[in-house]
Chains A and B, each alone.
Chain A
Amino acid sequence: MARASLIRVSIYVASGLAVLTLLVGVLHTPLGRPLLARLGVGCPVQASPEDVERARVKSARATRGTEASPAQPALGFVLDKMTEEDARSWADREHVSCESQRGGSLLTCKDVPGSALSGRAGGPIDELALAFSPGSKRLVNIATAQYGLDGTTAAQQMQDVVASLERQLGKPTREAGERSARYLSGGPLRTALVRYRFTDYQADVTATNLPGKGMMLREHYMSAPD
């Protein structure tokens, strides 16, 4: 008798949990989120690929330059043309470890040798992120990061990358800080920056002294659509 009661209770609890799980799931769909917002409950999940791309495009439009780019260097990739499948083929060919995220709109790769990035000056990179527009399914955004560099290496590699960009794009739109080991090593968060802003393309190269972690060299290339 007691066993039967226990089984009955277990069924009720399991059913209740299933219903609640379904309800919570519905609340996280685009249909349910406005209700969550009205209830004042923050939704913790990350943005959808469409949200991410919308925010990127909005920011790009607000910071664009006034002339069209003479070229769009992007580590050997082709912005607004390459697909995620193309990127995966590249990763297989170059024996690079990558992981697909955000429903295939983001590919993150680690420990990418310089030889796998045609046209890039500088050494291997720790992290490469390739983002694809959920609409066109084409590559629109690239970011790399190298960590733990010493000042001399960071300055030299940055100089190499900038020299390559200058050959293709001309003088930068903006420069700040100094591309030297002495400057970068001079204190926490010392940063050297080179920036290009065109109507259709943006590029940034930065070296930053991360306290206790050496220099971070970051490159960022992206399409800046109308």
Chain B
Amino acid sequence: MNKYSLVSLLCLVGAVSAAACGSSNDTSPEPTAGAAGKGGAGAGGSMGGKGGSAGSSGNGGSSGSAGASVEAGAGGEGGTVAEPTLYERLGEHPGIRAKIDAIVAEEVKDPIIGSYFSQQASSAHKPTVTDIKECFTNLLGNAAGGPELYPFKTTSGFTCRAMTAAHATLGIGAGTFDKFVGIAATVLTDLEVAPADVATVGAVLNGTKTAIVDPNVPSGAAACKSPASCSVPVTGDGGAGGDSGTAGAAGAQ
């Protein structure tokens, strides 16, 4: 082997090492969650208006298109006023952002989940906590039938990543993911979001589970203690992302 080949080999090794440090902004959208942004009502959520087909499934990520196929529809002459859409019931972009702010505020307080967000407290880190909130808001807004796009570029210039890329190196177990969703549901309940809408939002989140959870991380505790209650239907009309794995504590990470 001559010295030029050796240099090339070292450069290749260096490039692989740098890539292993973390994922860069991956703008390639993944198979969509097929959530409400595509016209899905998700888990029992009432969409109002024309409604749509059922909700989340798939490998996370979300549609890159504006998924506003559930239109409220105006009442015609002598007709009834259409019910607000999920997007409208969540308060549209400002309302969704406020809910995301509240969810993140509670998630960072959890001793385990907080560690997945806290590095964003450093302004030297990308994405910042503001970036994450903007990404999350657009993800949910898009899924709820709003005009938001996902992936998209935040105000700071950060490009929101597909779920797999964003979480690939974090080693998130199933128990941690479930707890995250549980805390999100708690916050939404506290903010007086209707239970059916909480379920729909939860279906959107659960639709990303397979993209986020690392199957090599132990999910923790024993199987469901009460099999009958563990067979609670996941959705009304369609496939939400909740899987049928064991109940798990996140435990050690």
Contact = CB atoms under 8 A, between A and B. Distances in A.
Interface residues of A, number: 85
Interface string B65-94: 000000000000000000000000000000
A40 B22 contact: no
Contacts, number: 271
A142 B114 CA distance: 12
Given A108-B251, A148-B247, A187-B195, A129 B111 contact: yes
Contacts of A59: 105-106, 108-109
B191 to A, nearest CB: 9
B190 A195 contact: yes
Interface in A103-158: 106, 108, 110-111, 126-127, 129-131, 141-143, 145, 147-151, 153
Nearest to A175: B190
A127 B249 contact: yes
Nearest to A98: B252
A110 B18 contact: no
A17 interface: yes
Nearest to A62: B105
B214 to A, nearest CB: 12
Interface in A178-220: 185-193, 195, 202, 204, 206, 208-216, 218, 220
Chain B CB count within 10 A is highest, among A27, A147, A208, A222, for A147
Contact of B250 (A21, A127, A151): A127
Interface residues of B, number: 84
A170 interface: no
A188 B10 contact: no
B118 A214 contact: no
A60 B162 CA distance: 30
B146 to A, nearest CB: 21
A98 B242 CA distance: 29
Contacts of A129: 110-112
Nearest to A213: B247
Given A9-B1, A43-B22, A187-B196, A33 B122 contact: yes
Contact of B226 (A41, A153, A218): A153
A63 interface: yes
Contacts of B233: 188, 211
A126 B252 CA distance: 12
Interface string B222-253: 11111011111111000010111111111111
B108 A56 contact: yes
Contacts of B232: 185, 187-188, 209, 211-212, 214
- 4 closest Cβ pairs, A-B complex: A44-B169, A127-B249, A211-B242, A47-B118
Interface of A: 5, 9, 12-13, 16-17, 20-21, 23-24, 27-28, 33-34, 36-37, 40-48, 51-52, 54-56, 58-60, 62-63, 99, 101-102, 106, 108, 110-111, 126-127, 129-131, 141-143, 145, 147-151, 153, 174, 176-177, 185-193, 195, 202, 204, 206, 208-216, 218, 220, 222
Interface of B: 1, 6, 9-10, 13-14, 17-18, 20-25, 43-44, 105-106, 108-112, 114-119, 121-122, 124-127, 168-170, 175, 178-179, 181-183, 185-186, 189-190, 192, 195-196, 198-199, 202-203, 206, 220-226, 228-235, 240, 242-253
